[in-house]
Amino acid sequence: MSSPRGTVLVDTARPGSGGHDDRFTRISGCAPLPAVTRSGVHGRDSRAGDVTVTDFHTTAGVRTAVDPHQPAELRLYLVRRGVWTLDYDRGAFPVRSGGFLAYRSTGLTGFATAPRTTGHSVGIPLRELHGLTVDAPLTGSAAAPEVRLLLAHAGLLHDTIDDLSDAGVDAARNALVELTRGVLRRAADTTEPALAPALARAARELADRLLTRADLTPALLARDLHVSVRTLSRAFATTGEPAAAYIRRRRLEEARHALAAGHTVSEAAARFRFADSSHFIRAFRGRYAETPAQYAKRTRP
């Protein structure tokens, strides 16, 4: 039997988009109730078997009630920007920008978001916790390496869910469960082969933010993601491009953009940490079959 799967896109701010106010409760992984007080929600909700992942952004403040008797599961709520306040029968728990909260879904009675809030949620069955307890809300930083791995995998799930085979859906589901447990344990088990694509994606995103740092190496990426260099290398092997080669390519690409924007050859070389202009020129010519000066002359007005 095939596993349930699919993605729902919602835009309550755009007439005729197919989104309705009561759909936002689905986008947050909750049972739908028509109690949203304001529109302005953009989001996507993907399901792989019995797990769900959600991304959303609100342009206006949103408040809604949810069914307190919904099925019990573990919910992980993460906020990139704004504030997401979860109303439980035992009190309200605000999740602020850069943070996450993990807790059972039972007892959730509603939630509210501030205007321009961007967030994510992940839901997995409680039986998958394997001894981990969430009798009280667990909070932490959304910048933690384990969380970055989880969000990278969630992004891959959104992008590929409709094209996956049944076996692929099961593998994606199992990886999501393991990564969520990793967030709770504060140490994701990155030896699992199913987690390699998410690890590679998280490492690439981290490298893109650090291209101007002189100490950017595969070892730095591995350390920041709490994995071994060997584990990181195995993850990049699934992409066909080693980590060091990815860093070199991205630095050349960004240096090329800098040249087109008017920076000199020496400025671009220094900014993206080439040893010197000669080294930059050789690497640039090897990749683009022209020198940086020739490219700059050709592309500038």
Write down the pLDDT at residue 203: 93
Write down the pLDDT at residue 272: 96
Write down the pLDDT at residue 259: 96
- Mean model confidence pLDDT for the chain: 83
Confirm if 177 and 128 have CB atoms less than 8 A apart.
yes
CA nearest to 121, candidates 111, 109, 132, 135: 111
Query: What does the alpha-carbon distance between residue 67 and residue 99 come to, in Å, rounded to a whole number?
Result: 25
Query: What does the alpha-carbon distance between residue 151 and residue 155 come to, in Å, rounded to a whole number?
Result: 6
Q: What is the rounded average pLDDT of the residues 73-90? A: 92
- Whether this model's pTM surpasses 0.75: no
Write down the pLDDT at residue 255: 97
Confirm if 130 and 181 have CB atoms less than 8 A apart.
yes
Residue 78 clears pLDDT 90, i.e. is over it: yes
CA nearest to 77, candidates 36, 111, 33, 127: 111
Q: What is the rounded average pLDDT of the residues 258-280? A: 95
Q: Of the given ranges (116-120, 190-194, 216-220), which has the lowest mean pLDDT?
A: 190-194
How would you list the strands of the sheet with 83-88, edge to edge? 62-65, 108-113, 83-88, 91-96
Alpha helices in the chain (DSSP H): 24-27, 145-160, 166-185, 196-209, 218-224, 229-237, 243-260, 265-271, 277-288, 292-299
Write down the pLDDT at residue 285: 96
Confirm if 285 and 291 have CB atoms less than 8 A apart.
yes
Query: What does the alpha-carbon distance between residue 203 and residue 193 come to, in Å, rounded to a whole number?
Result: 16
Write down the pLDDT at residue 18: 41
Q: What is the rounded average pLDDT of the residues 24-34? A: 41
Label residue 9 by pLDDT band (50, 70, 90).
low
Residue 36 clears pLDDT 90, i.e. is over it: no
Confirm if 108 and 87 have CB atoms less than 8 A apart.
yes
Residue 12 clears pLDDT 70, i.e. is over it: no
Note the pLDDT tens digit of each residue in 211-263. 999 999 999 998 888 778 888 998 899 889 999 999 999 999 999 999 999 99
Instruction: Compute, in degrees rounded to 10, the torsion defined by CA atoms 18, 31, 186, 208.
Output: 0
Query: What does the alpha-carbon distance between residue 195 and residue 189 come to, in Å, rounded to a whole number?
Result: 8
Domains of the chain: 5-186 (2.60.120.10), 190-301 (1.10.10.60)
Query: What does the alpha-carbon distance between residue 231 and residue 187 come to, in Å, rounded to a whole number?
Result: 14
Residue 49 clears pLDDT 50, i.e. is over it: yes
Residue 87 clears pLDDT 60, i.e. is over it: yes
- Tally of CA atoms within 13 A in the half-sphere of 236 that contains its CB: 21
Higher model confidence: residue 226 or residue 107? Answer: 107
Label residue 33 by pLDDT band (50, 70, 90).
very low
Query: What does the alpha-carbon distance between residue 297 and residue 300 come to, in Å, rounded to a whole number?
Result: 6
292 Cβ contact partners less than 8 Å away, ≥ 6 residues apart: 255, 256, 259, 265, 268, 280, 281, 284
Label residue 192 by pLDDT band (50, 70, 90).
low
Task: Give the amino acid at 83.
Answer: V
Write down the pLDDT at residue 205: 93
Q: Of the given ranges (70-74, 143-147, 241-245), which has the lowest mean pLDDT?
A: 70-74
CA nearest to 79, candidates 57, 104, 109, 106: 57
| Residues belonging to the chain | 301
